[in-house]
Amino acid sequence: MTTSPGDWRLLQTLSDKPASEVVDGDVVSAVEFDPSGDYLATGDRAGRVRVFAKSDVPSTGLDSGARSTPGSVMRSALFGRSTSNDKASPSGGKTVEYRQWHEYQSHEAEFDYLKSLEIEEKINCLRWCKPINSAFLMLTTNDKTIKLWKLQERKRPVAIVEGYSNGKGLGGGEAPDVSQRGVGWVVLQARLLERDAYHINSISLNSDCEHFVSADDLRINLWNLGVSNTSFNVVDIKPDNMEELTEVITAACCHPTQCNTFLWSNSRGSVKLADMRCKALCDDHAKVFEEEDDPSRRSFFSEIISSIADIKFSSDGRYILSRDYMCLKLWDVNMESRPLRTIYVHEQLRGKLCDLYENDSIFDKFQCAFSGDNNRIMTGSYNNFFHVYDRNGRQDKCIEATKKPNKKPTRPMPKLRGKGSPTKEESDMDLDKKVLHCSWHPSMPLVAVGVLNTVYVFSDDGQAGAGP
């Protein structure tokens, strides 16, 4: 059977649990592939992190033929022999499967007695770091605390009693043989304390793999992975009088190849590019990417819906992707005046902003992502749908994240605001079903999206043989 680009199919569901057993702590709050694509990490509202390892499985079935074990995948990822070059094949060859490899408790609920404030254990963001020797490093954060985790596979002693096999039993006077045959995870932790009282919304690893930035409501700090008690403030928008506050920082993202450059976005719909070579404090941005709103469309909710929830660099650093509540914007880093593409994901909800405000849905933060080759972009929506767009503006593929996906036909990407009336299906959205978190495999046509407690992995069979 022939396939064409955009022929998405459900490959796997992870951390699935019956709906009747799901509690609030099981809801997925972060999804992230590692740079090799051999591992997938998820965080949830209970502060837990789960790591899934990729296994190659013959496409004819899970029980036929050999497969790579999570241990072999780990060794390949650590020593540069990534198995991600084995592309998923729609027929014959190999497909992939992610198996749970480890789970640990990253954050616990805390209470700040000085401020009478409860600190949730929810994982706001997680990022993979460069492996060191035989260990993986991972950054996780909740609202107040960033933690650096070291995951390492080590041998552990296992007692093997041979007395039962020779018929003597334990009473035969022989001591059990202790052998280094077992293999287990050792999780070590270095705790990085955020120094101020504002909520951390994002963390991003620097391209030198030695530093990272953390962004909260009013500041962006630069950290060294090896120093846990000191950070350098690189952006500070806190006014002397808090009553004069007009914006907050919503996200930050480091450039993929230039260690001196990073992006940050604010609640007023602006994306700012900062260069740390200019000065230590980057309050004065090098570039600003923003588009003026149409005055005829302004309303009480304009500032809320223009607040940017997520920003991403393309892997080559040429393009910038920003996502606010209503639309997805693609920018060329060399052109500040206007975006290359503006995709109106939720234009059909513009007439229901009052209802969305009353039930707090207007504050939902949808993530976005580039494909490994930077030719496609994706973001989530309601009704458990997520959208995959062509970067050049030719098509929109809408896929439902469920065990029995209802794939909408490919349609031209919307170009004008508010043109045409939405269909009944688009207007009657279930606001409790939403895809907030997504991640694209760095080299394969695979995407992972989080819905409630489940992570769905989809594969594009039409692009299975293509790499970045």
Per residue in 141-171, pLDDT (tens digit) is 988 888 888 887 766 555 444 443 344 444 4
- Residue labelled with tokens 């009553």: 243
Separation of first and last alpha carbons in the chain: 24
Nearest to 349 by CA among 240, 290, 434, 291: 434
Residue with tokens 């590692």: 34
Q: Contact 366/379 with Cβ under 8 angstroms?
A: yes
Identify which of 190-194, 363-367, 403-407, 429-433 has the greatest average pLDDT: 363-367
Residue 321's pLDDT band (boundaries 50, 70, 90)? very high
Compute the distance between CA of residue 378 and CA of residue 390 in angstroms, rounded to an integer.
Answer: 9
Confidence (pLDDT) at 438 = 92
Question: 4-8, 99-103, 265-269 — which is least confidently predicted?
Answer: 4-8
Q: How far is CA 308 from CA 322, 368, 396, 431, in A?
A: 7, 11, 21, 19
Q: Measure the CA–CA gap between 33 and 449, rounded to whole angstroms.
A: 11
pTM over 0.95: no
pLDDT of residue 398: 87
Residue 173 has pLDDT above 60, yes or no: no
Mean pLDDT of the chain: 77
Question: DSSP E strands: which ranges in 106-228?
Answer: 110-112, 117-119, 125-128, 135-141, 145-160, 177-193, 200-205, 211-216, 219-224
**Angle at alpha carbon of residue 72, lines to 212 and 139, rounded to 5°:** 15
At residue 114, does pLDDT exceed 80?
no
What percent of the chain is modeled with pLDDT above 90?
A: 23
Contact (Cβ atoms closer than 8 angstroms) between residue 106 and residue 140: yes
The residue whose two tokens read 């035969």 is 172
Q: Average of pLDDT values for 216-227? A: 89
Q: What is the pLDDT of residue 43?
A: 92
**CA 327/CA 310 separation, integer angstroms:** 11
As a whole number of angstroms, the longest Cα–Cα distance in the chain is: 91
Beta strand extents in 28-124 (DSSP E only) = 28-33, 39-44, 48-58, 94-105, 110-112, 117-119
The mean per-residue pLDDT over the stretch 254-282 comes to: 89
DSSP letter for 414, please: P
Of 305, 312, 313, 418, whose CA–CA distance to 364 is shortest?
A: 305
Specify the 3-state DSSP secondary structure of 100. strand
Higher confidence at residue 15 or residue 69? 15
pLDDT grade, residue 347 (50/70/90)?
A: confident
Position 123 pLDDT exceeds 70:
yes
- Strand pairing category for 211-216 and 200-205: antiparallel
pLDDT at 428 over 80: no
Handedness of CA 284, 244, 312, 230 (dihedral sign): positive
Q: Pick the range with the lowest mean pLDDT from 28-42, 191-205, 275-289, 422-436.
A: 422-436
Give yes or no for a contact between 97 and 65, defined as CB atoms under 8 angstroms apart.
no
Rounded percentage of the chain residues whose pLDDT exceeds 70: 73
Q: CA dist 284 to 173, 177, 309, 318, Å?
A: 78, 67, 22, 22
